[in-house]
Chain A
Amino acid sequence: MAEINGSPPGAAEKFTLRLRRFDPESGEAPYWDEHTVELEPHRSVLEGILQAKALTDGSIGIRCSCRAAICGSCGVRINGEPGLACHTHLDHARASAAADGVIEVEPMGNMPVIKDLIVDMDAVHWKKVQRVTPWLIAKQPVPEREYLVEKEAMVDVTQSMACIQCGACVSDCLAMEVDPGFIGPAALAKAYRFVGDPRDDQQDIRLTDLAEDPQGIFDCTHCFKCVEACPKGVNPMGQIMRLRRIAIGDQKIVDKNNGERHEAAFTTLVKDFGLLNEAELLPRSYGGNSWFGKFHPAAGKVLLSLLGVTVKAVMRGKMSPKLAIFGHKLPKQDLDAVKKIYEKIESREERYELNLYITGYDEPDETPVPVAAAASSGEESPAAPDTEGSAN
């Protein structure tokens, strides 16, 4: 162990950074600008940029402050992927670079560029945060001392509290790229921070608001980009899905955007056929969750509107008419296995939710844990495996 982290840090190496520059005062288009820096490989891309700034070009624009992935200032795209410059090692960045080994750093996406790597977060991100009523509406009366709440509940919302508002998830949100009005991953994660907070008095109002908004929780397309982008393991999409589960499962909200019906159709189809039947999905989402859904006028309308796309898909071989009509078929034993999964999940009294801060059992080979403590830790986190914790 002493040899590992006590040895001198790896010798400095040369790294080439290719920075996307934009000078709003020049009238010129953005351009690429290369700088070679010399640093130990485990130093961050931010340290590389700061070295270039200090030694050769002080005009490089990048917001940065803490250098330790806590202030959220230095969100950028590195080799096309969003993240914090201070949180990305130079050697990792070089490994993910194109064949020439040059590390490309660009401003984040989905937000207007002000200068070089600096984007206008107010114009997009902070407006969306303001949209979700981002403050606690506390239950009354306010107690003299603290609100008494379950330990687990506070640990649970700490995951969304851990968001540092860096914008990395906003940068690469695909839904937002298509629909700039989508409230988006960061703001919706913030919304969960209140919905999940037992001290908040307006969970139902918040959820109705977010479900009924056509650019709210059902606008997310489940692409996982934000989960990958988040440097803090906040799992924004997971928070959006939790909002949906609470809205649908607990609050029984049936929204006018067909979000609830779409999810119901989705789960019913997978339960009944073992696989998704795409051709049935939309009619059921709009017309009602059964085989007859397609005959509902609302379903007809949406099917008609999609006719052009469908024809194109068939002509390009992306869809076969047979599949479209009959759907996928699974062998019986596989279908039974799928059904068993449904039964098991549905028979649970409570939903299990994964959380970064609730990471399951201590491994048996760890420092011995007193029996009592081990027992109580087992109760606290019934099934949450360590996957999420180790994944980030």
Chain B
Amino acid sequence: MPSHDILIIGAGLAGQRAALAAAQTGSSVAIMSKVHPVRSHSVAAAGGINAAINVADDWRSHAYDTVKGSDFLGDQDAIEIMCSQAPAEVMHLEHIGVTFHRNESGELDLRAFGGASMKRTAYVADITGQAILHVLYEQLMKHHETVDRYEEWFTTSLLQDDDGRCCGVVARDVRTGRMETFHAKNTILACGGAGQAYRPTTNALIVTGDGIAQAYRLGAPLMDMEMVQYHPTTLAENGILITEGARGEGAVLLNSEGERFMEKYAPNKMELASRDVVSRAEQTEILEGRGVGAERSGIWLDITKVPRKRTLEALREIVNIGKDFAGVDITREPIMIQPGQHYIMGGVKTDVNGATSIEGLYAAGEVACVSVHGGNRLGANSLLDTLIFGRRAGEHAAARAATIGMPRATDAQLREDSATIDAIIARDRNGSPTRPRRVSEIKQELGDTMNKYVAVYRDQGGLEQALEIVKRLQEESKSAYIDDRGTVFNQDVLGALELGYMLDCAQATVVAAIERKESRGAQFRTDFPKRNDEQWLKHIDISINGKDPARPGGGGVGGPQISYSPVTITQWQPEERKY
């Protein structure tokens, strides 16, 4: 049975950064991912990474912009840590090989990004996430003797000992179907968000809320789950992302009347207001009949304002996306976009070291909620979040590992998970009296439901309807059938497990959205259209009782419970947000 001081689940930026940081301390480290690390969704981050590295800039300005972007729901102690450590982190990336673009003096070039009071986004063309991810993987290849890699291993459960501590995982080798128990003094979840609970979404097919749901099922509280970011510029039919870098370089948004409508909503920052503001503005234009396209459901993004040479050099990827996925030459004509699900600010609640409420369990990146993004994440802060808190989780977990012995776990969970998988594979499409559905059908209905009721504009009626549907889908998923009966690369059965994770995440999101009776950041309630600091300047935590039999209602029973935690305010008092 493999044993490690630190086992990291997920090999995107947060996971790889955590692995490298932990390995530096001499701990025994392993990183596990259901896909090859370079396929992780961090690869899709396009625009850049924020850091106050310009000598005229100050990390406090970055922190204030982040606090304001979060609609004052972000925890300011965590934001201060992230922003003050950002310049050193970006320099570290530069030193290990990231090919950041330079200015004429050979220093890192910076581009403008949404919600930022000055240019502070370092970038590699519009493949920044890919460049950083691949460079971190280069480092993992360099340190292959000190970091074990379990590539294409799917984690099925987190393990918990009798004292409630997390002591490893059960995982399935995707290639062979073999199940294995992994012991670990510390487990770090770094396996991303849950965007596939929406349809369409900019998120990759692998982003299915695995880690969030697994921690939730163990009893860890989820925080800020109602805060779901809609990105202002996604392709209408398939949700593919057009980077905010386009607007950073000067592209503008136009409605059907050719009007640069952001003048009405954010007269100062215009297209570079925070994402929640821009997406809402677009949605308002569309709802009021000024959308473009046959169904008037889109908005023009006009990139022709950017000099062609600059576009080809710095926005190469979206030139290709326009050509390949929309048939548009963005250097010569506008492209039709619309707001689309992009990011979840919420996740497993952690402290500033990535520690969750469960001893031995850490989380970093989109799976976690520190909370540095609060009600709305600024563009180019997500890469920063993954790296800063990935590193901190790795370091902190390594320090903890030095003080404790290796826990021993039994194979009980492995047997349970194997039985679950066998049962899913054996499900009969005709056998049940309730006429079972395909897993793919349920997933599609979930995505459509979330995108209809839990999107840019929300209200009580719609949210309650969404909750009903999610609950019904949870029931239906228990008998949902698949086709693949094999063990080698049975993606079908993993899809059934992922569906369960997405449904858990969706339920937590809807419950929290119903609970928050105000409008803040990404949560806009048409029935409560104002921000209400008096009652709602607080985080909503959602938890279930988990598996701890000692706790009342333990053993995984009982619906979501709601509690609150305070927002940490250090130096910036809430004020009205204007862009």
Report whether chain A binds chain B: yes
Q: Which residues does A use to contact B, with CB under 8 Å?
A: 1-2, 4-9, 23-25, 42, 47, 53-55, 57-59, 61, 63-73, 87, 89, 114-116, 118, 121-122, 129-130, 134-136, 138, 142-151, 154-155, 157-158, 161-162, 164-165, 193-194, 197, 199, 356-363, 366-367, 369, 373, 377, 389
**CB atoms of A121 and B36 under 8 A apart:** yes
**CB atoms of B103 and A161 under 8 A apart:** no
Q: Which residues does B use to contact A, with CB under 8 Å?
A: 35-36, 38-41, 43-44, 53, 91, 94-97, 99-109, 124-125, 127, 130-131, 134-135, 138-139, 141-142, 144, 151, 175, 204-206, 237-238, 240-241, 292-295, 298, 304-305, 307-309, 312-313, 316-317, 320-321, 324-328, 333-336, 438-441, 444, 482-492, 495
CA A270 to CA B228, docked complex, whole Å: 64
Chain A residues with CB below 8 A from B489, complex form: 61, 114-116, 118
**CB atoms of B44 and A71 under 8 A apart:** yes
Chain A residues with CB below 8 A from B492, complex form: 58-59
Query: Of all chain B residues, which has the CB nearest A122?
Result: B151
Given contacts A148-B107, A161-B124, contact A54 B438 (CB under 8 A): yes
From B91, B100, B237, B307, A366 is in contact (CB under 8 Å) with B307
**CB atoms of A70 and B317 under 8 A apart:** yes
A28 to chain B, nearest CB (A): 12
Chain B residues with CB below 8 A from A165, complex form: 38, 134
**CB atoms of B304 and A367 under 8 A apart:** yes
15 A-B pairs in the complex with CB atoms less than 8 angstroms apart: A4-B328, A5-B328, A24-B488, A54-B440, A58-B440, A67-B240, A134-B141, A138-B96, A147-B95, A149-B106, A151-B102, A161-B131, A197-B97, A362-B309, A366-B307
B108 to chain A, nearest CB (A): 5
**CB atoms of B309 and A361 under 8 A apart:** yes
From A53, A63, A66, A68, B440 is in contact (CB under 8 Å) with A53
**CB atoms of A58 and B320 under 8 A apart:** no
CA A121 to CA B326, docked complex, whole Å: 31
Chain B residues with CB below 8 A from A147, complex form: 94-95
From B205, B294, B334, A65 is in contact (CB under 8 Å) with B205
Query: Of all chain A residues, which has the CB nearest B258?
Result: A2
Chain A residues with CB below 8 A from B295, complex form: 8
CA A149 to CA B107, docked complex, whole Å: 7
Shortest beta-carbon contacts, A-B, top 9: A136-B97, A59-B484, A54-B440, A148-B106, A58-B483, A58-B492, A135-B138, A65-B204, A135-B142
CA A165 to CA B491, docked complex, whole Å: 21
Chain A residues with CB below 8 A from B205, complex form: 64-67
**CB atoms of A7 and B294 under 8 A apart:** yes
**CB atoms of B35 and A66 under 8 A apart:** no
**CB atoms of B308 and A363 under 8 A apart:** yes
Given contacts A5-B326, A361-B309, A362-B308, contact A150 B102 (CB under 8 A): yes
Which of A4, A5, A55 has the most B CB atoms < 10 Å from its CB? A5
CA A31 to CA B252, docked complex, whole Å: 51
| Overall SS of chain A's interface | loop
**CB atoms of A65 and B95 under 8 A apart:** no
CA A197 to CA B97, docked complex, whole Å: 9
B84 to chain A, nearest CB (A): 16
B347 to chain A, nearest CB (A): 20
Query: Of all chain A residues, which has the CB nearest B484?
Result: A59
Chain B residues with CB below 8 A from A145, complex form: 53, 91, 107
A102 to chain B, nearest CB (A): 22
Query: Of all chain A residues, which has the CB nearest B103?
Result: A151
**CB atoms of A148 and B105 under 8 A apart:** yes
Given contacts A135-B138, A138-B97, contact A87 B324 (CB under 8 A): yes
Chain A residues with CB below 8 A from B175, complex form: 114
A-B contacts besides A146-B91, A154-B102, 7 pairs, CB < 8 Å = A24-B488, A61-B491, A65-B35, A69-B320, A115-B489, A158-B101, A158-B127
B120 to chain A, nearest CB (A): 14
From A1, A5, A114, A155, B327 is in contact (CB under 8 Å) with A5
Query: Of all chain B residues, which has the CB nearest A59?
Result: B484
**CB atoms of A2 and B483 under 8 A apart:** no
